[in-house]
Amino acid sequence: MSDFVLRKKDGWVEISDLLREVNPDVQKEIWEYLCRGTIADAADALEIEIGDLLEGRIGLREIQDVKGFLAPHDVAGQVFKVWVKVAPSKGRS
């Protein structure tokens, strides 16, 4: 089994807590996009459903990639963990 590593310095931002604010059907829809590999559709759904919250977290930077997985949880059984990779902010090299 390989390690799953997403680093903040590479532009990855966890948004799992923001996604918990939306309807479970929307979470399922985003999960299905990720399973099909339609990243652009997942990014669009995130921007539509949690746009204001997402903007508060990443600003106006473009989403370049989305990763997610279901993680075991003692109380909930499993939780949907999601990260977005964003473009570097202007002025950053």
The residue ranges of every structural domain in the chain are 8-86
CB 78 within 8 Å of CB 71: yes
Q: What does the pLDDT read at residue 81?
A: 92
Listed in sequence order, the DSSP H helices in 1-93 are: 16-19, 24-36, 39-58
Q: Looking at per-residue confidence, does 77 or 68 come out higher? A: 68
pLDDT in tens, 11-63: 999 999 999 888 989 999 999 999 999 999 999 999 999 999 999 999 999 99
pTM, two decimal places: 0.83
Q: What does the pLDDT read at residue 93?
A: 46
